């Protein structure tokens, strides 16, 4: 640890960071624009000026940009120095000369970094009385709005879009005093991470167009910490509601999962909650009924029925478990296809029995060699693709460190690295958007991809059988891959379910396990199709085909189908025959689909926004999502409906459960692989700084600029940080479970 004196007060700080980051970490206020914790420093905005002093006797000091200077032991700096303060005020004055001051009509107004910094630095009144520079805005597609006049030239947007996320269609175009950030011509932004522009831009140039369509000031949103439902990675999000509709989704910081960003699917894919074809009321044989009626009719129909329950990989652990408890373990079926069931079981087997652990996305970012088998990550797990994009910098960054350039010094590091990339090998069926940074790519059928994997595994461990009839080209490639993996310190092998072929995952596991014998830092990441695929697989239950057989062979006559369109998982003819044979079909879901159309009882289940629940992501991390708002309709969580049905049917086990927490504890007690799930996710008593999880930002928060000049953002950010930093879950330890 180093001792740093800030305005003559000593602080014990970690060496290796820049002074701005240290000051912000200590909770001290220092204005900044271009620095970003994930993007590092480039010294573009000149806003973070402080004074640094040679020693105790130095009273004059010199102005420096705090984001560009590493912390040193016994260093003396001042934030409060009048010269530094004046410098910061002038800089923001210059930056504001061309800013339109249109906060009253700006979507960012009230949650704007520029507003905060402007008020905080004391530049509260406009002094520039001349004509302002203006630009033409561009149409950038359905997600991002462009308002270039508000730009303060911090360069964060292009640094994120181009440098960090590998986008090719957004840039800075400059001529004299005109710097334009946009596309070379109007058009839809191509990057699947474009939505992050609305968060990294410190002002209102890039804003969320979907919010604009049903705009509300951000302090008027009711929000909750939640988990993205759109792939198996479980990125952390904040969902915001007003007047019964979801208006916005933003990223929520989780250093081990998604960091500061999310993909566009996660950010903009929320409109299904507001969709006009939501199931809003219960129906009995397509006739609208009230809650009591539907429950009493279900109760009657279940009395003499032989009931089965079909669960879902997109429903929470609690909902699946409640269904299982209602129908009994022997009558509970995983509602996924035969192959998907096999693949999910294989993932559990590989993660439980194999020696190689599954790294978090943060760890994938720091992998120094990656081998992808059979996955187009940008489509199946977008944020993992973004993590892989960071990983190829790891090897060149070793040279950067040798030159004593700090890793956070982004401009210098990128200048030094240029286009060099570390080892990344991609064997996939189609071209992928990571191909531009790959060392080698192979386009092949799943069988060929698996053969390549087994060939690499054999080279790493001779006890694994050799692959016969390998072409000289593939032999050379497998040797190149094996060599790169052996030379790496933190190699990661990535595969998953998208080839729908277990042998591809087995090949990946063989590579990881063979490599693990030589390097126990080897990691294996396996992706799955849905947000709770792994959670469902970790829960006991039978195959979907057996559910069909049970009804078709007269062992059952009534099916409760929860949050699942069976036509997506089974053959149309089989599902048709199954539904036709059922005496009663009870469907709980939020959107109308082909299965829902055939329900006798249709129950309106809550989406993630109206529900509490737990999901398990692809690495085995159980994470809670909180209800954003209570629906005004009869909508409630599937597990709550099932509890209502169970209790009125006299199910003694379910009668003991009063609430969410009771179900979670029962899961932990009864499901072997989910033991401890109640411990790794927040209990009802969970408090942050003595408060319940807040549903709206504090009135004087870092998300509003009110009183930023008085509190300097310090008090409020606590409230804002509640959301940004709450960890709603942790990894389940597969191998410590019997
Ligand atoms: S558009 Fe936003 S992020 Fe980009 S340079 Fe301008 S102010 Fe910075
Ligand atoms: S990567 Fe997956 S979990 Fe993360 S935001 Fe995108 S769709 Fe959601
Ligand atoms: S934050 Fe330091 S120069 Fe921009």
Confidence of residue 684 (pLDDT cuts 50, 70, 90): confident
- State residue 505's pLDDT score: 97
Residue 379 phi/psi, 5-degree rounding, is -90, -40
Confidence of residue 727 (pLDDT cuts 50, 70, 90): low
> Nearest to residue 663, comparing CAs of 687, 688, 686, 638?
638
Distances (CA, A) of 598 to 71, 310, 584, 659: 66, 15, 10, 31
- Starting from the CA of residue 135, give the closest ligand: 1
Two structure tokens written together for 366? 């720091």
Using alpha carbons only, give the angle 101, 82, 103 rounded to the nearest 5 degrees.
Answer: 10
- State residue 725's pLDDT score: 46
For 64, residues 6+ apart whose C-beta sits below 8 A from its C-beta are 19, 49, 50, 51, 52
Q: Dump pLDDT digits (tens) for 615-643.
A: 999 999 999 999 999 988 899 999 999 99
Lowest-pLDDT choice from 574-588, 593-607, 654-668, 676-690: 676-690
Confidence of residue 726 (pLDDT cuts 50, 70, 90): low
Residue 40, sorted as left (phi over 0), alpha (psi -120 to 50) or beta, turns out to be left
- Starting from the CA of residue 270, give the closest ligand: 2
Confidence of residue 681 (pLDDT cuts 50, 70, 90): confident
pTM of the complete model:
0.94
Write out residues with Cβ below 6 Å of ligand 3.
Answer: 20, 32-35, 43-48, 65, 67
Calculate the CA dihedral of residues 59, 62, 64, 69 and round it to 10 degrees.
-70
Distances (CA, A) of 363 to 258, 619, 638: 11, 12, 35
For residue 33, the ligand 1 atom closest to its alpha carbon is: 8
Confidence of residue 733 (pLDDT cuts 50, 70, 90): low
- Computed over every residue of the chain, the mean pLDDT equals 92
* 200 Cα: distance to centroid of ligand 1 (angstroms): 8
What is the Cα–Cα distance from 268 to 143, expressed in whole angstroms? 7
For residue 237, the ligand 2 atom closest to its alpha carbon is: 5
Q: Dump pLDDT digits (tens) for 330-343.
A: 999 999 999 999 99
Tokens 């993996």 sit on residue:
485
Q: pLDDT over 70 for what percent of the chain?
A: 94
Write out residues with Cβ below 6 Å of ligand 2.
Answer: 228, 230-231, 233-235, 258, 262-263, 265-266, 381-383
* DSSP code for 395: H
Strand order in the sheet with 601-604: 287-288, 283-284, 601-604, 584-589, 558-562, 307-310, 332-333
Instruction: Read off the pLDDT of each residue in 569-576 and give the average, rounded to a whole number.
Output: 96
Instruction: Read off the pLDDT of each residue in 39-66 and give the average, rounded to a whole number.
Output: 96
Name the residue of 24, 37, 48, 52 to mutate for ligand 3: max ligand atoms within 8 A of Cβ. Answer: 48
- State residue 29's pLDDT score: 87
> Nearest to residue 327, comparing CAs of 642, 564, 665?
642
User: What Rg, from alpha-carbon coordinates, does the chain have?
Assistant: 28
For 329, residues 6+ apart whose C-beta sits below 8 A from its C-beta are 540, 541
* 423 Cα: distance to centroid of ligand 2 (angstroms): 25
Confidence of residue 685 (pLDDT cuts 50, 70, 90): confident
What is the Cα–Cα distance from 321 to 312, expressed in whole angstroms? 11
- State residue 724's pLDDT score: 45
Confidence of residue 732 (pLDDT cuts 50, 70, 90): low
For residue 65, the ligand 3 atom closest to its alpha carbon is: 2
Q: Dump pLDDT digits (tens) for 473-518.
A: 999 999 999 999 999 999 999 999 999 999 999 999 999 999 999 9
Q: Dump pLDDT digits (tens) for 597-617.
A: 999 999 999 999 999 999 999
* 401 Cα: distance to centroid of ligand 1 (angstroms): 29
Name the residue of 31, 35, 90 to mutate for ligand 3: max ligand atoms within 8 A of Cβ. Answer: 35
* 471 Cα: distance to centroid of ligand 2 (angstroms): 38
Two structure tokens written together for 21? 């980051």
- Starting from the CA of residue 193, give the closest ligand: 2
CB 326 within 8 A of CB 309: yes
Residue 158 phi/psi, 5-degree rounding, is -70, -30
For residue 251, the ligand 2 atom closest to its alpha carbon is: 5
What 3-state class would DSSP assign to 669?
Answer: helix
Tokens 């006739």 sit on residue:
287
Lowest-pLDDT choice from 86-90, 120-124, 378-382, 414-418: 120-124
Write out residues with Cβ below 6 Å of ligand 1.
Answer: 151-157, 181, 201-203, 205
- The residue contributing the CA closest to ligand 1 atom 6 is 151
Q: Dump pLDDT digits (tens) for 170-221.
A: 999 999 889 999 999 999 999 999 999 999 999 999 999 999 999 998 888 8
Highest mean pLDDT among 24-28, 663-667, 718-722: 663-667
> Nearest to residue 175, comparing CAs of 147, 135, 206?
135
């Amino acid at each position: 640890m180093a001792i740093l004196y800030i305005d003559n007060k000593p602080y014990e700080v970690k060496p290796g960071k820049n002074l701005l980051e240290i000051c912000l970490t200590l909770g001290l206020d220092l204005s900044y624009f271009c620095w970003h914790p994930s993007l590092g420093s480039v010294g573009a905005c000149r806003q973070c000026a402080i004074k640094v002093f040679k020693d105790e006797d130095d009273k004059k000091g010199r102005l420096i940009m705090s984001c560009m200077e590493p912390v040193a032991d016994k260093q003396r700096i001042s934030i409060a120095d009048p010269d530094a303060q004046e410098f910061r005020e002038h800089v923001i004055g210059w930056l504001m000369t061309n800013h339109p001051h249109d906060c009253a009509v700006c979507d960012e107004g009230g949650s704007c970094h520029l507003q905060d910094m402007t008020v905080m630095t004391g530049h509260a009144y406009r002094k520039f009385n001349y004509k302002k520079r203006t630009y033409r805005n561009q149409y950038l597609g359905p997600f991002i709005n462009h308002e270039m006049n508000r730009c303060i030239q911090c360069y964060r947007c292009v640094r994120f879009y181009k440098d960090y996320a590998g986008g090719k269609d957004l840039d800075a175009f400059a001529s004299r005093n005109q710097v334009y950030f946009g596309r070379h011509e109007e058009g839809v932004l191509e990057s699947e991470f474009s939505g992050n522009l609305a968060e990294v831009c410190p002002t209102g140039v890039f804003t969320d167009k979907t919010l604009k369509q049903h705009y509300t000031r951000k302090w008027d949103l009711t929000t909750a910490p939640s988990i993205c439902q759109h792939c198996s990675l479980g990125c952390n999000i904040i969902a915001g509601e007003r007047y019964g509709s979801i208006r916005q989704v933003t990223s929520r910081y989780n250093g081990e999962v998604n960091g500061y960003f999310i993909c566009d699917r996660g950010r903009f894919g929320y409109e299904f909650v507001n969709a006009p074809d939501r199931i809003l009321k219960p129906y009995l044989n397509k006739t609208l009924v009230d809650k009591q009626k539907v429950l009493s009719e279900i109760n009657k129909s279940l009395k003499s029925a032989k009931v089965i329950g079909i669960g879902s990989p997109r429903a929470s652990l609690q909902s699946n478990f409640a269904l299982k408890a209602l129908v009994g373990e022997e009558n509970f079926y995983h509602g996924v296809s035969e192959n998907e069931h096999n693949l999910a079981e294989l993932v559990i087997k590989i993660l439980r029995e194999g020696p190689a652990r599954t790294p978090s996305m943060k760890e994938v970012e720091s992998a120094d060699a990656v081998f992808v088998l059979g996955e187009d990550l940008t489509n199946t797990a977008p944020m993992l693709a973004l993590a892989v994009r960071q990983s190829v910098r790891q090897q060149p960054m070793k040279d950067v460190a040798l030159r004593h350039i700090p890793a956070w010094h982004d401009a210098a590091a990128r200048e030094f690295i240029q286009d060099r990339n570390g080892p990344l090998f991609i064997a996939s069926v189609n071209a992928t958007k990571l191909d531009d940074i790959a060392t080698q790519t192979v386009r092949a059928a799943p069988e060929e991809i698996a053969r390549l994997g087994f060939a690499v595994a054999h080279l790493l461990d001779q006890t694994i059988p050799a692959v016969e009839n390998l072409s000289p080209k593939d032999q050379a490639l497998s040797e190149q891959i094996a060599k790169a993996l052996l030379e790496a310190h933190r190699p990661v092998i990535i595969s998953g379910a998208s080839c729908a072929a277990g042998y591809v995952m087995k090949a990946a596991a063989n590579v990881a396990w063979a490599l693990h014998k030589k390097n126990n830092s080897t990691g294996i990441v396996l992706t799955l199709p849905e947000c709770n695929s792994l959670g469902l697989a970790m829960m006991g239950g039978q195959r979907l085909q057996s559910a069909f057989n049970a009804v078709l062979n007269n062992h059952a006559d009534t099916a409760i189908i929860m949050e699942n369109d069976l036509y997506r998982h089974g053959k149309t003819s089989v599902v048709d025959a199954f539904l036709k044979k059922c005496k009663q079909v009870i469907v709980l879901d939020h959107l109308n689909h082909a299965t829902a159309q055939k329900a006798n009882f249709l129950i309106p289940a809550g989406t993630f926004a109206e529900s509490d629940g737990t999901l398990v992501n692809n690495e085995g991390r159980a994470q809670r999502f909180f209800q954003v708002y209570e629906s005004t309709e009869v909508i409630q969580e599937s597990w709550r409906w099932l509890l209502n049905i169970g209790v009125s049917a006299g199910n003694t086990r379910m009668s003991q459960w009063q609430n969410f927490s009771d179900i979670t504890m029962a899961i932990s007690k009864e499901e072997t692989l989910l033991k401890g799930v109640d411990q790794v996710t927040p209990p009802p008593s969970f408090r942050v700084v003595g408060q319940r999880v807040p549903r709206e930002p504090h009135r004087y928060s870092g998300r509003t600029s009110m009183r930023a000049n008085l509190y300097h953002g310090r008090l409020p950010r606590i409230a804002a940080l509640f959301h940004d930093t709450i960890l709603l879950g942790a990894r389940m330890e597969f191998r410590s479970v019997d």
